[in-house]
Structure 1
Amino acid sequence: MSGQPPNDPGNAPGAASAAAAIGESRWGAGAAVLVAALVTSVLPERLTTGPRWALPALELALLAALLAANPRRLTRKSRDARALSLVLIAVIGATNALSLVSVVHQLLVGDVSTGRELVYAAAGVWLTNVVLFGLVFWELDRGGPHARSTLTSGRADLLFPQMTMDRPDDPAWSPSFMDYLYVSFTNSTAFSPTDTMPLTPRVKLAMTVQALLSLVTLGLVIARAVNVLG
């Protein structure tokens, strides 16, 4: 009998090419951004930077850019929308960092009698950072989802465990947004990489910044606010 069996590793390149050509859906990333927008929309206005609606509006603009760059339509528009997504992520990240500064300022020199409000605000800042850095890793790794789906990606920025295994049962495996969101969540809680290793300086820098922001949020803000509640 001629030919290779369906699960033969020799079929991996063709299977990977076919799977990548389909492209990754943007709905997972879009849902995460929508959750972040809903969370930030209920943050206390005195603990946010600018009008209360500004950050949720930016996040909704990012959601529109993500959905406009659906990789199932692999056009120049997809690459242009990715550039817009990166700009919006940077703006939202900077705005969220300023919100964290406002929370810390209120704890140190402001009225700390409303500890519950500070806990809610800190939790919102932390959750937004988890979503944002998940998007950062998703957009940076090997040139982003568009490059990965068109097989034009460069070197890997993150080393996932599946990339070190011989998996004839799933030769076309490729990280999705949920994989990057998990990396972001574990880095925000453990303050270090867990099962996925950073390989490039830019991702190492991003993970360092995220861990620092998370450490400030969880270690100083929430701990102090919970003490106020007592």
Structure 2
Amino acid sequence: MTGQRFPAADDTGDPREPESVGHLETRWPMAAAVITSAVLTVLLPDDLRLGPRWALPLAEGLLLMALIAGDPLRISRRSTALRALSIALVCVLVCGAIWSTLQLIEDLVNGGAETNSASALLLAGGSVWAGTVIAFSLLYFELDSGGPAARAHHMPRTPALAFPQHLSPELGALRWRPRYVDYLYLGFTNSTALSPTDVMPLAPWAKSVMTLQSVISLVIVGLVIARAVNVLA
């Protein structure tokens, strides 16, 4: 039937089987993550934000609306333009998160408006930390195995990120695919444990990005807590 898009089966299976429909990633989880990131950006102090208060949320909102217009509800359309929009959105999020981290470090070292109050510092530090978790989770989501649309159509035999269901197929459903919540969990655990937990990076880029995220999280948590304790003392 025209208008329907079904992912191609893997090496084993029939592309006409109805189970294939279940592998299409819904749009709302990643959209909710982008909106949450925009809200966190608005709540940041002015000196921790890249550009005016409205700049990053506006850019993220426009890119998100373009993605939704081009491939609404379920992510299944493979398009160079949509892929470019997705990568651009992730770049905006990651650049904003790294900028906020660097500015927070500078304020902690040289003194800033939020560093004199433990509550304000913890709020700012927590917002920056949460923003990095979301930004890196979307980075993993978009880069692993060619992105969600590519994963819906075909999973490579050697993914960049090996989830437990890849290492032990008997633990997952037939033709299991990672979804955004899996990458959000990866971003969260990598920022708290500062090392791989249940997801193993296989590709060099995945190892590099996970290392960068761990370093950023370590710096944020270590410096913010140290400064907050010093203020309270």
Q: TM-score, normalised by structure 2?
A: 0.83
Q: Give, as a single letter, the amino acid of the residue that structure 2 aligns with 1:208.
A: T
Partner of 1:135: 138
Partner of 1:200: 203
Q: What is the CA deviation profile of residues 61-109 of structure 1, one whole-angstrom value per residue up to 9, with x for unaligned ones?
A: 3432443434747445x44222112122113212221111211211211
Runs of at least 5 residues in structure 1 that lack an aligned partner in the other structure: 1-11
CA distance, structure 1, for counterparts of residue 73 and residue 160 of structure 2 = 20
CA distance, structure 2, for counterparts of residue 63 and residue 25 of structure 1 = 14
CA distance, structure 2, for counterparts of residue 65 and residue 153 of structure 1 = 28
Runs of at least 5 residues in structure 2 that lack an aligned partner in the other structure: 1-11
Cα gap change, 1:185 to 1:17, in 2 (>3 Å): farther
Identity of aligned residues (%): 43
Q: Secondary structure at the match of 2:196?
A: coil
Report the Cα offset of residue 168 of structure 1: 8.3
Partner of 1:7: none
1:162 to 162, 165, 169: 165
Q: TM-score, normalised by structure 1?
A: 0.84
2:221 to 218, 221, 224: 218
CA RMSD of aligned residues (A): 2.6
Report the Cα offset of residue 184 of structure 1: 0.7
Count of paired positions: 219
Matches within 5 A, 1:82-121: 82-111=83-112, 112-121=115-124
Q: Give, as a single letter, the amino acid of the residue that structure 2 aligns with 1:48.
A: R
Q: Secondary structure at the match of 1:13?
A: coil
CA distance, structure 1, for counterparts of residue 35 and residue 82 of structure 2 = 18
Cα gap change, 1:195 to 1:221, in 2 (>3 Å): same
CA distance, structure 2, for counterparts of residue 125 and residue 73 of structure 1 = 28
Cα gap change, 1:168 to 1:51, in 2 (>3 Å): closer
Matches within 5 A, 1:53-72: 53-68=54-69, 69-70=71-72, 72=74
CA distance, structure 2, for counterparts of residue 224 and residue 59 of structure 1 = 32
Q: What is the CA deviation profile of residues 154-205 of structure 1, one whole-angstrom value per residue up to 9, with x for unaligned ones?
A: 7400111111224387213211110111011000001100011000001111
CA distance, structure 2, for counterparts of residue 93 and residue 129 of structure 1 = 7
1:126 aligns with 2:132: no
1:209 aligns with 2:205: no
